[in-house]
Amino acid sequence: MNLHWIVLFTFIISIHAQTGSFPDCKSGPLSTFPICDQSLPSRQRAADLVSRMTTAEKITQLVTTAAAIPRLGLPKFEWWSEALHGVAYSPGVSFGGDLPAASSFPTPINLGASFNMSLVHRIASVISTEARAFNNEGRAGLVFFTPNINIFRDPRWGRGQETPGEDPFLTSQYVYALINGLQRGDDERYLKIAADCKHYAAYDLENWNGTDRFHFDARVSDLDLIETYMPPFETCIRDAKVASIMCSYNAVNGVPSCANKFILETIARESYRLDGFVVSDCGAVSTIMDSHHYTSTVEDTVAVALHAGTDLNCGDFYLKHTQEALDKKTIVEADIDQAVQRTFNVLIRLGYFDPPEQQPYRKLSHFDVDTVETRQLSLEAAHQSIVLLKNSNKALPLDINQLQNKRIALIGPTANATELMQGNYFGKAPFLLDPVTAFRGLAIGHSINVSFAYGCKIADGDQSGFSEAIELAKSSDVVIFFGGIDQSIESEGHDRTSIALPDIQLQLIQQLEKTVRSPLHIVIMSGSGLDLSYVRDSSQCASLIWMGYAGQSGGLALANVMFGDYNPGGRLPITMYPASYVDTVSMFDMQMRPSPTNPGRTYKFYTGQAVFEFGYGLSYTTFQYTWYNDTAESRMSVKSLMKNNFDEKKVQVHLYRVNVTNTGSVAGDDAVLAYVVPPQQSLNGQTPPLKKLFGFERVHLNVGETKQVFFPFNMESLLTVAHDGAKWLEPGSHKIIIGKQHMHTIHLYGKPARWS
């Protein structure tokens, strides 16, 4: 989807879509039909309603801007609303009147950095509450095309900011918490809103080296599909029970995703048990023919999409060409019926046809949007997502009392960032608290002068602002440089060619290093990784913070961290690679494992030296882990474990318990990460992961406090995936690593056995 198009046309389309209108099941044309009988199963109600539509009427319901059917009392309905990290601009959403804004939380990449899934659930619950309030006042739909759970496999991808990171386990935990917060509330009879897991499948390229997402054919092995690209979608569909998924623009192994019966029907519906509908990405049905040339006629294009299981077309291809497909007999009416029944079944589950007085979600209003509690939550989320990457000689936190009558210089292109802190897919925020404003606010009453100089733009070569910045730095006691990138560099439709810190920023940093009275502090805003090795290694750079795109309260959260009012505990949800990484591997290469033309992707397979590793992050305090379990080693036979051959996620092998103690001088959060290191030689012939995450928990500890953290170790963490996608239990030693400490070893003995 194109965000610029969304923003440009959202107002007009939102008004015409009549998203706040509902059918009248009390006295309207449908009132005596089974669709209004709540005692009947939702599928039966949907089937009866569809049976009462004419063929032409059904076709109007196959697209996201669905037409009204006045004779049945069905209003227009806009299926396309957005809520990636707050109710957002989209055809189904408009801001104004009693709802001028919606809470704008940190982007998903920030939420991944929090490693706190209870926080993700709380945020999702707020988003769904505000979404329902918007819907009740006619300013949003009921179906929201979120979340993006594609794996952030390549640092150049422009939309990685929309995801929680590079790891399938982290992404799976994120989507489970998020979908439950979005779809489930106080009334289990109804979906709170309908979410949509996208982009299915293997989508993570926008436009690189002459190939865009509309033409890209992702060549993915069965091994990588099962091990890396599919797990978040399996969790989303099978475990979280999402109401819909979105098929992507790209092809997978030669077949466009929205025409790919294998991934949509065999995997999503039959294996993962999708109970909902499939919507195309916007325009993706037409790309089956126009971009991928998989079909040569419009009637065949409609047929392959419908037969693959693409029920709803974001766009107008179905609207224009479905009748032609019927006439030329590439489809039958039952194909249309099935698609429309699936979408209306979700509307029934949302309470669309039921009396409003019996539904608590229909009572939500503008009073439930942008509350004191949600403002506090947005600040807390921003706090938890900030990652401290360097802190030489305890340069941070700044002591506000020792800065009395001193001068702080905030320099750089992101110091006064506002909308930038929202990343992409955002809405109108109640406020956007930039760092300059936040620092000045905290300095009130302390006689601290906070000054700002732009210095340079994010990426062009103009040095005209250098002199002002350098003069300010000369006269200041503390200098903080704010850099990073923005949506002109990483965005939907735009991949990067370089992951280096923009050269103009590096030049300014080097000039400031020669000028400052004390070492520099560096703050980076970005939704993806940058080569920050210069800052890491420079003795003149005392601290380094990655703050991502931290939402409406991002500036205040950053100021609180730097002044010590909040102790940072975020961890990187991505690997930060050296700039040379992009010269060693093509974005077209979907393989995760190293090869002669690929150094390996993500922390699981990257064979080079990372600038900062996945999971890295510092604190103002220190933590100690001690092993609670009795033994350092255990032996198990493959044969005994194979007796439990069913859902590998539910077969627990161990329950690890770790005592975490705050051994420092201030309270703080620790994100405790648990990894397994498999045997480094697989009998199936593939390269094993260097390590893989199987658990994490964020805990808050006061000084001297100890808490016990539990990590269930399930069978899925022991299994290896073969080249054909089959899962195996193989003998060998599996090391359990908590943080960086080797805590336990599981020795498996016996013959290899195929699990599935």
CA 524/CA 464 separation, integer angstroms: 22
Torsion sign across C-alpha atoms 243, 311, 60, 40: negative
Q: Which of 245, 232, 331, 231 is nearest to 280 (CA)?
A: 245
Q: What are the start-end ranges of the H helices in 53-116?
A: 55-60, 108-114
CA 555/CA 598 separation, integer angstroms: 38
Side-chain-side CA neighbours of 327 within 13 Å: the count stands at 8
Q: Which of 545, 455, 474 is nearest to 513 (CA)?
A: 474
Q: Which of 496, 546, 553, 555 is nearest to 525 (CA)?
A: 546
Q: Is 261 exposed, middle or buried (0-12, 13-18, 19+ CB in 10 A)?
A: middle
Torsion sign across C-alpha atoms 163, 167, 172, 173: negative
The 8 Å CB, 24+ separation contacts for 95-99 are 95/139, 95/427, 95/428, 96/139, 97/137, 97/139, 98/137, 98/365, 98/366, 99/133, 99/134, 99/137, 99/139, 99/366, 99/369
CA geometry: angle at 301 spanning 300 and 305, to 5°? 115
Q: Tell me the residue type at 668.
A: G
In sequence order, which residues have a C-beta less than 8 Å from that of residue 188 and are 6 or more positions away? none
Q: Which of 348, 284, 347 is nearest to 313 (CA)?
A: 284
Task: For residue 721, give the 3-state DSSP assignment.
Answer: strand
Torsion sign across C-alpha atoms 134, 136, 138, 142: positive
Task: For residue 709, give the 3-state DSSP assignment.
Answer: strand
CA 518/CA 282 separation, integer angstroms: 52
The helix or strand, by DSSP H or E, that contains position 352, with its residue range, turns out to be none
Q: Is 82 exposed, middle or buried (0-12, 13-18, 19+ CB in 10 A)?
A: buried
CA 184/CA 242 separation, integer angstroms: 10
Side-chain-side CA neighbours of 176 within 13 Å: the count stands at 15
Place of tokens 């998203």: 19
CA 81/CA 93 separation, integer angstroms: 6
589 has catalytic annotation: no
Structure tokens at 333: 């009416």
CA 467/CA 372 separation, integer angstroms: 42
- Dihedrals phi, psi of 145, to nearest 5 degrees: -80, 70
Task: For residue 25, give the 3-state DSSP assignment.
Answer: coil
Catalytic residue among 48, 281, 354, 670: 281
Question: C-alpha dihedral over 71, 312, 275, 303, to 10 degrees?
Answer: 110
Edge-to-edge strand ranges of the sheet holding 244-247: 196-200, 244-247, 277-280
CA 522/CA 531 separation, integer angstroms: 13
How does DSSP classify residue 238? I
Active-site residues, by number, are: 281
